[in-house]
Amino acid sequence: MVTDALDDYYQKYKGLYKSKSQLIRVISENWFKDHMYCPFCTEDRIITFNNNHPVADFFCDQCNEQFQLKSKKLKFGNAITDGEYNKMMEAIYSNSVPNLILMSYSSSYDFIYDLLIIPKEFILPGIIQKRKPLSLKAKRSGWTGCNIILKNIPDAGKVFAIKGKNVIDKKEVREKVAKIAFYRKMKEIEGRGWISDVLNVISNIKKDVFELDDVYNYATFLKNLHPNNNNIEAKIRQQLQILRDNGIIEFLGRGRYKKI
Ligand SMILES: [Zn+2]
């Protein structure tokens, strides 16, 4: 994987497309097809969907994971605009969202800053923000889009293949994905939502050894996300046990925990 190879595609296609958004789509997709491997299995090639697939752009023919690529000039920011809100929510509840890959590139299209993989299981209702419907004057009046809020995704759900121009070793990327295999197998959205939210709280606690009280400090935040739960603290302890059983944290005793 070479980040500055993006320029090769830019040089090749720049004369062929008048529209900048079309051009970057072609450049980023070609780079991805030629350089990206499957982070979920041992396959070293990703395949482009031939027909215009409604959501996904790529797939792996070994493990069948599907990928949607979104690219953005410079930094991602906190909100990634996505498609129609109701369709997104339907896709989440029917477990048909593809894995999301975010690519940020330099303003002169010559290299990639970041390539971020968000496994589909982390794309949950809690990270989707409904946008304002388009105004009456707009062509698609009433159409309501959505944003993906990156800060609501825990660090465990943000797997960088390239970070700040540095290519992360493929083995390291796959190890990070393997660590969350237990989570990816959870079918229930509610259960995944809880784990993801507690993981996000832990990501926000900026120390490697933390206490139960550090997590309890987020009880109100978690209650807002799960208003039907009336025993937040018990639920937190249960999630911490699941994370311990799956090797994400370690119990040190006396309400102290360590991130692994
Ligand atoms: Zn695969």
pLDDT, tens digit, for every residue of 52-69? 677 788 999 999 999 999
CA 160 – ligand 1 centroid, Å = 17
More confident of the two residues 5 and 38: 38
pTM: 0.91
Residues 6+ away with beta carbon under 8 Å from 210? 202, 256, 257, 259
DSSP state letters, 219-244: HHHHHHH-TT-S-HHHHHHHHHHHHH
- The confidence score (pLDDT) of residue 137 equals 86
CA 66 – ligand 1 centroid, Å = 9
CA 71 – ligand 1 centroid, Å = 21
pLDDT, tens digit, for every residue of 80-116? 999 999 999 999 999 999 999 999 999 988 899 999 9
CA 43 – ligand 1 centroid, Å = 5
CA 115 – ligand 1 centroid, Å = 17
CA 10 – ligand 1 centroid, Å = 28
CA 37 – ligand 1 centroid, Å = 8
pLDDT, tens digit, for every residue of 138-193? 888 889 999 999 999 999 999 999 999 999 999 999 999 999 999 999 989 999 99
- The confidence score (pLDDT) of residue 241 equals 96
Amino acid in position 175: E
Pair 21, 109: CB distance under 8 Å: no
Of all residues in the chain, what percent carry a pLDDT higher than 90? 83
Task: Answer whether residue 118 shows pLDDT above 90.
Answer: yes
Q: Which of 41, 59, 74, 229 is nearest to 237 (CA)?
A: 229
CA 183 – ligand 1 centroid, Å = 17
CA 45 – ligand 1 centroid, Å = 8
CA 119 – ligand 1 centroid, Å = 12
In the structure encoding, which two tokens stand for residue 149, read together? 């809020």
What residues sit around ligand 1, an ion, with C-beta below 5 angstroms?
A: 38, 40-41, 43, 60, 62-63
CA 152 – ligand 1 centroid, Å = 26
Domains and CATH numbers, the chain: 3-185 (3.40.210.30), 190-259 (1.10.10.10)
CA 60 – ligand 1 centroid, Å = 5
